[in-house]
Amino acid sequence: MKVLITLTDLEPAVRLNALLEGAGIATAMASPVDDLPSAVKREKPDVIVVTGNLLDPPTQSLVRQQLWDGAAVLGLADVGDRDLEQRLKATGFSDVITKPVEPDEVFSRVKGLLDRRALAERTGLYGESEAVREVLVKIAQMAPVSSTVLIEGESGTGKELVARSIHTMSPRRGKPFIAVNVGALPETLLESELFGHEKGSFTGAAERRIGRFELANSGTLFLDEIGDVPHSTQVKLLRVLEERELTRVGGTTPIPVDVRVVAATNRPLKETVERGNFRSDLYYRLNVLSIYLPPLRERRTDIVLLVRRFVQEFSQQHGREFRGITPDAMQALVEYYWPGNVRELRNLIESMVVLSHGRAIGLEDIPKAIRDQGGARNLPVPVGNIVREEEGARGRELEFIVRSLVELKLQMEELRRRVDDDRALLSEVSQLGAGPGSGFGVVGGLEPPGAAASPNVVTVTPGMTMAQIERASIEAALRETRGNRRKAADLLDIGERTLYRKLKDYGIPLTD
């Protein structure tokens, strides 16, 4: 792993370089007179730290190029502005820190980017969204132990990839990893596939068969679509998990097995338990550790990065030159709802790379269904047995109704959450300084013309955002306490660290 540091701002660059070298991390430095793209091409860094001039065209061009070349970019911004930080991240910066910076904090951020990159390379799970970061952290935490794991997520989100990652990062990595889709096996053969059978145990059993549990002994058994296991098999599966031994179909001798089970389902298994279609005791036995894989529509910020990875993969695999993607084509990919999730995106990118050889991918190269649906919200949710039991137009009507109702429910829950958050914040702000001894307060309504407001009074006027109210309240508290952050935090009834973070978020000067 290597870090390239620009010398635009000399002091933080030199101090960061010393910290990284002290930690055994390879570094390189590029001065402002260097050809930065050439330095990046020469050094092949995993992380680039840009110490200044983040909005300069050469820097912006470099960051956009890294969306395709793969290095994470950390920027040190000269101005504390939340909108600026969001714009910089939108252009491709992986992280942004506002100056003045503490070298230890910059080191920590760089180390985090390096660790996530290494983990992504090992697991094949790429993304900068918080959801993906959480999944990667959980994989690293769960891999060393032998507890059962339940992975939940829609089809195409990468459940088997997560299961393999847990195995390859575990002490069992040198042992077998056996995957079986239990939902694809008929009920009459499932027990034989899982536990094996003895010769003559049923018609057609011409010889003894070793089941998947025995094949995975000392390793990991991945049971996909675990929610489709019939009740009769659920009982036997639970016994194997609890007793760590099995009996083959038609056999009488218990066989000890040492297997770590990782199960997966494309619908919430808890709901299946509540409907009576899955044993609760087996559910809790499987759900010792759990991972939720979000659908692609819930991590749209990762789509550009995933497109980049798949383009690199398929360009090399098929020997195709890639000339880029037009902005309107990329926008269409970002806005599409992706009912097939990452698997659907991956297959589409392979098709586009093969068919658009020698030219940039444009909007016309994207299937019409994706262009037309763009932001359409056809939520792919499980609709239970109701739809499956209906045929033809009747079944399609029921499916549409169920999907629409679920989508409406999700939208209402999100709206309710936002309203509750705004109310809570307004309540906190309106109570600032309400305690005895407070020297400032919050006043609602319009300020009278010519009124001389006290410097320690916050006037809330129509049209002010919650962020503006909060910032004004913090500034008033600092004025009241003459810049003493500890006293200001006490006055605001928040922690000092929380106040420190908000000062940085709002770009309020940090005074001692």
36, 478, 486, 501 from 510: Cα distances, Å: 32, 10, 12, 10
Number of Cβ atoms within 10 Å of the Cβ of 401: 13
The torsion angles phi and psi of 384, rounded to 5 degrees, stand at 70, -165
Confidence of residue 315 (pLDDT cuts 50, 70, 90): confident
Single-letter code of the amino acid located at 69:
D
What rounded mean pLDDT belongs to the chain?
Answer: 80
- Report DSSP state, residue 72: E
Confidence of residue 199 (pLDDT cuts 50, 70, 90): confident
pLDDT given for residue 87 in this prediction: 80
Pick the CATH number of 296-373 from 3.40.50.10800, 1.10.760.10, 1.20.1050.10, 1.10.8.60: 1.10.8.60
Question: Averaged over 26-54, what is the pLDDT?
Answer: 86
Question: Averaged over 383-408, what is the pLDDT?
Answer: 47
Burial (CB < 10 A; 0-12, 13-18, 19+), residue 432, is buried
| CATH number for the domain whose boundaries are 431-506 | 1.10.10
Burial (CB < 10 A; 0-12, 13-18, 19+), residue 34, is middle
CA distance 34 to 99: 23
Of residues 281 and 78, more confidence is placed in: 281
pLDDT over 70 for what percent of the chain? Answer: 80
35's tokens: 């050809």
Of residues 81 and 381, more confidence is placed in: 81
The answer on pLDDT for 512 being more than 60 is no
- Report DSSP state, residue 137: H
May I ask the CATH architecture of the domain 2-123? 3-Layer(aba) Sandwich (3.40)
Question: Averaged over 387-410, what is the pLDDT?
Answer: 49
For the stretch 223-255, pLDDT in tens is 999 999 999 899 999 999 999 999 998 888 999
Confidence of residue 380 (pLDDT cuts 50, 70, 90): very low
pLDDT given for residue 382 in this prediction: 39
Confidence of residue 402 (pLDDT cuts 50, 70, 90): low
Rg (CA), the chain: 28
Placement of tokens 């407001």 in the chain? 453
State whether residue 90 is helix, strand or coil.
helix
The answer on pLDDT for 472 being more than 80 is yes
255, 297, 370 from 335: Cα distances, Å: 53, 9, 9
The answer on pLDDT for 344 being more than 90 is yes
CA distance 469 to 422: 12
pLDDT given for residue 101 in this prediction: 85
Number of helices and strands in the chain (H, E): 21, 14
Of residues 433 and 89, more confidence is placed in: 89
Q: Do domains 2-123 and 132-292 have the same CATH topology?
A: yes
CATH class of 132-292: alpha beta
Instruction: Tell me the domain boundaries of the chain.
Output: 2-123, 132-292, 296-373, 384-422, 431-506
Confidence of residue 152 (pLDDT cuts 50, 70, 90): very high
The answer on pLDDT for 392 being more than 50 is no
Of residues 131 and 423, more confidence is placed in: 131
- Cβ atoms of residues 508 and 474 within 8 Å: yes
pLDDT given for residue 475 in this prediction: 86
Confidence of residue 398 (pLDDT cuts 50, 70, 90): low
Confidence of residue 434 (pLDDT cuts 50, 70, 90): very low
- Cβ atoms of residues 57 and 28 within 8 Å: no
The length of the chain, given as a count of residues: 512
The answer on pLDDT for 483 being more than 70 is yes
Confidence of residue 413 (pLDDT cuts 50, 70, 90): low
pLDDT given for residue 329 in this prediction: 87
Question: Averaged over 454-458, what is the pLDDT?
Answer: 59
Q: At what angle do helices 496-506 and 466-480 cross, to 10 degrees?
A: 120
Question: Averaged over 54-76, what is the pLDDT?
Answer: 83
The answer on pLDDT for 429 being more than 50 is no
DSSP track, 139-188: HHHHTTS---EEEE--TTS-HHHHHHHHHHTSTTTTS-EEEEEGGGS-HH
Sheet containing strand 47-50, edge to edge, reads 26-30, 2-6, 47-50, 72-77, 95-98
Of residues 124 and 436, more confidence is placed in: 124
The answer on pLDDT for 468 being more than 60 is yes
pLDDT given for residue 378 in this prediction: 42
Confidence of residue 186 (pLDDT cuts 50, 70, 90): confident
pLDDT given for residue 144 in this prediction: 94
CA distance 233 to 395: 30
Of residues 389 and 360, more confidence is placed in: 360
Confidence of residue 463 (pLDDT cuts 50, 70, 90): low
The answer on pLDDT for 465 being more than 90 is no
